[in-house]
């Protein structure tokens, strides 16, 4: 699905609810305390900040351009590299893989992107808990989506969207056989979360823990 709008369609409901809450609270406040005082303006500033944050959360980075180099795996999300370790991936691969975790704060763009060209080889949604995203168990215990992508050479990587303590909705409309185009939308996670990428052990990792990623632009790794 190509992105053309500046705000994601998933934000419509959240923005309208925020506007409604702000309007109702402002009406009640001014009904009981009609004389404007300093705290009124402080409250209005808070309302404006809340609205800006919600609108900003659903922004679409239409200004970004994807340039996919040979064998490159792009970052599927904005955020900070929170983990880089070898783990046993026991849902699909059932062997050891290099896990790279990207933590997404509420300030990041929350759209997730396909990291390379290929197709969706596997997809499964898992209901679950809402542990904080930094918790090691969140990868398996939290609500999450597992998406396996296969490129033209048969190489596979696994991308896992994980709902965090604040995030309560994972958006993804994929099925096996769907085409994956590097830089196009894979889905999104609302209000703070994490994305794990499971790579072959011989993949050359380009990012270090603590470094920031820019979704669909940053080269996360290179495959052999």
Select which of 101, 138, 139, 193 is catalytic: 193
The rounded distance, in Å, linking the Cα atoms of 139 and 69 is 29
Residue 206: active-site member:
no
User: What is the DSSP secondary-structure string of the chain?
Assistant: -----SB-TTHHHHHHHHHHHHHHHHHHHHHH--S--HHHHHHHHHHHHHHHHHHHHTB--TT------TTEEE-SSSEEEEEEEEEEETTTT-EEEEEEEEEE-TTS--EEE-SSSEEEEEEEEE--B---TTSTTHHHHBSEEEEEEE-TTS-EEEEEEEE-SS--EEE----TT-EE-TTSEEEEEESSEEEEEEE-TT-EE---TT-EE-TTTSEEEE--
162 within 8 A of 128, measured Cβ to Cβ: no
The rounded distance, in Å, linking the Cα atoms of 82 and 208 is 9
The rounded distance, in Å, linking the Cα atoms of 5 and 10 is 12
Residues forming the active site: 193
């Amino acid at each position: 699905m190509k992105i053309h709008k500046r705000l994601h369609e998933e934000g419509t409901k959240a923005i309208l609810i925020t506007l409604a809450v702000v309007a109702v609270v402002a009406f009640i406040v001014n009904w009981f305390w009609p004389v404007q005082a300093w705290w009124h303006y402080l409250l209005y500033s808070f309302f404006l900040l809340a609205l800006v944050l919600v609108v900003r959360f659903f922004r679409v980075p239409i200004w970004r351009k994807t340039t996919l180099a040979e064998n490159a795996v792009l970052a599927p999300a904005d955020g900070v590299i929170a983990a880089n370790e070898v783990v046993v991936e026991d849902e699909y691969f059932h062997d050891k893989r290099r896990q790279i975790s990207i933590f997404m704060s509420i300030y990041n763009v929350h759209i997730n992107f396909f990291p390379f060209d290929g197709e969706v080889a596997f997809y499964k949604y898992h209901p679950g808990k809402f542990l904080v995203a930094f918790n090691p168990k969140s990868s398996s215990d939290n609500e999450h989506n597992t998406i396996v992508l296969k490129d033209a050479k048969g190489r596979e990587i696994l991308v896992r969207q994980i709902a965090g303590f604040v995030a309560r909705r994972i958006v993804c409309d994929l099925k096996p056989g769907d085409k994956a185009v590097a830089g196009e939308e894979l889905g999104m996670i609302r209000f703070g979360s994490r994305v794990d990428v499971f790579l072959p052990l011989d993949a050359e990792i380009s990012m270090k823990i603590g470094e920031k990623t820019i979704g669909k632009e940053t080269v996360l790794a290179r495959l052999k």
